[in-house]
């Protein structure tokens, strides 16, 4: 499974980009409105968050659910070679525009690296290797080339390989597999449900009850798990599940996660 530190957020090597480049909208996730390009008032001079250990209690739950997949340090240290937006204000606009693009590319690398590590995808390993190499080149480019990247095209090319990987993995699950791609399952009562090998790609699972559900080998790419109750659920071998998705759900010490993911501190 992906264990590349380049795909894991390292805030100490980033110039607080997510705290500046992104928009905050006052809601259950953010205590304030903040325009893109304006520093969050909690951002300190050393680019650290002044309330990092109290984000949820201070009304910034959205920050705990965000994951840049290592894009922040890549933009800070590689794309802009260590120049920061405070001491080099001429890079501000390009740096802030680069973050969401780099995040998408790093997210693709996360999925591709996961797919490449699965024995079931052996027959397409060469294609996955080529895709990983191609996206990696994009992430190592300079600012102008990065900002000119056709991210939508990269996603389309990657998507076909991820779909094939999903099919190969889920074919190993015995029995008929459900296809719930894009399904509206908001608030659904699925406690204890057998969802092994189910395709839940892009499904709306907001506030759904998955207590004790079996989600092994389920495809969860892009599924919205905000406020979903996953206490005691089994995500072992879950496909394309990210830390950001897990961070927004409600689990406990009985929830079984893929080895590549960390149990959120607020569970």
Does residue 27 fall inside a structural domain? no
Within a domain: 44: no
Domain-located, residue 48: no
Q: Is the pLDDT of residue 161 over 60?
A: yes
Residue 1 has pLDDT above 50, yes or no: no
Residue 208 falls within a domain, yes or no? yes
Q: Is residue 197 in some structural domain?
A: yes
Distance linking the first and last C-alpha atoms of the chain: 23
Angstrom distance (rounded) from CA 159 to CA 104: 13
Domain that holds residue 120: 5-22+66-170
pLDDT digits (tens, 9 = 90+) for 95-132: 999 999 999 999 999 999 999 999 999 999 999 999 99
Q: Are residues 235 and 188 in the same domain?
A: yes
Do 249 and 150 lie in a common domain? no
Contact 76, 103 (CB under 8 A): no
**CA-to-CA distance for 138 and 120, rounded, in angstroms?**
27
Phi-psi label, residue 217: left if phi above 0, alpha if psi -120 to 50, beta otherwise: left
Q: Is residue 43 classed as helix, strand or coil in its secondary structure?
A: strand
- Write down which residue in 122, 148, 170 finishes a domain: 170
Q: What is the dihedral of CA 168, 170, 175, 176, to 10 degrees?
A: -100
In a domain, 85, yes or no: yes
Instruction: Report how many domains make up the chain.
Output: 2
pLDDT in tens, 62-100: 999 999 999 999 999 999 999 999 999 999 999 999 999
Helices 92-117 and 151-170, axial angle in degrees (round to 10)? 20
Is residue 230 within 8 A of residue 209, CB to CB? The reply is: no
Q: Is pLDDT at 176 greater than 90 in this prediction? A: no
How many Å separate Cα 88 from the centre of its chain? 29
Task: Judge if 128 and 12 occupy the same domain.
Answer: yes
Could you report the per-residue pLDDT of 10-64, keeping only the tens digit for each? 999 999 999 999 999 999 999 999 999 999 999 999 999 999 999 999 999 999 9
Please, what is the Cα angle at 259 between 241 and 103, to 5 degrees? 45
- Three-class SS of 170-182: HCCCCCCCCECCC
In three-state secondary structure terms, 53 is helix
CATH number, position 184: 2.160.20.80
pLDDT per position as a tens digit, 228-267: 999 999 999 999 999 999 999 999 999 999 999 999 989 9
In sequence order, what are the beta bridge partners of 250?
229
Q: Are residues 73 and 165 in the same domain?
A: yes
Residues 209, 264 within the same domain: yes
- pLDDT, residue 2, reads 47
Residues 118 and 16 in one domain: yes
Confidence of residue 175 (pLDDT cuts 50, 70, 90): confident
Q: What's the mean pLDDT in 200-205? A: 98
> 99 and 75 in contact (C-beta within 8 Å)?
yes
Among 143, 170, 197, residue at a domain's last position: 170
Same domain (yes/no): 93, 212? no
Q: Quick one: 137 and 161 in the same domain? A: yes
Mean pLDDT throughout 155-181?
94
Residues 101 and 192 in one domain: no
Residues 72 and 195 in one domain: no
Give yes or no: residues 80 and 155 share one domain.
yes
Does 51 reside within a domain? no
Tell me, what's the pLDDT at 3? 61
Q: Which of 123, 150, 170 is the last residue of a domain?
A: 170
Query: Would residue 38 count as lying in a domain?
Result: no
Q: Could you tell me if 166 and 111 lie in one domain?
A: yes
Residue 177's pLDDT band (boundaries 50, 70, 90)? confident
Quote the percentage of the chain above a pLDDT of 90.
Answer: 94
């Amino acid at each position: 499974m992906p264990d590349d530190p380049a795909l894991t957020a390292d805030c100490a090597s980033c110039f607080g980009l997510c705290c500046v480049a992104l928009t905050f909208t006052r809601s259950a996730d953010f205590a304030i409105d903040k325009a893109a390009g304006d520093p969050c008032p909690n951002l300190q001079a050393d680019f650290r968050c002044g309330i990092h250990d109290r984000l949820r209690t201070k009304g910034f739950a959205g920050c705990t659910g965000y994951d840049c997949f290592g894009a922040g340090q890549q933009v800070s240290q590689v794309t802009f070679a260590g120049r920061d937006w405070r001491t080099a204000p001429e890079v501000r606009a390009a740096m802030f525009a680069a973050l969401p693009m780099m995040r998408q590319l790093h997210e693709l690398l996360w999925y591709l690296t996961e797919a490449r590590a699965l024995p079931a995808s052996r027959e397409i390993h060469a294609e996955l290797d080529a895709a990983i190499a191609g996206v990696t080149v994009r992430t190592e480019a300079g600012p102008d080339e990065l900002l000119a990247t056709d991210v939508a095209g990269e996603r389309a090319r990657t998507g076909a390989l991820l779909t094939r990987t999903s099919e190969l993995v889920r074919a190993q699950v015995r029995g008929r597999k459900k296809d719930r791609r894009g399904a509206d399952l908001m608030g659904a009562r699925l406690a204890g449900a057998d969802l092994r090998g189910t395709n839940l790609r892009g499904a709306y699972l907001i506030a759904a009850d998955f207590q004790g559900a079996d989600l092994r080998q389920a495809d969860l790419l892009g599924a919205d798990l905000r406020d979903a109750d996953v206490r005691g659920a089994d995500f072992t071998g879950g496909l394309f599940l990210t830390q950001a998705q897990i961070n927004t759900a409600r689990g406990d010490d009985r929830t079984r996660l893929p080895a590549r993911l960390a149990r959120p501190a607020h569970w």
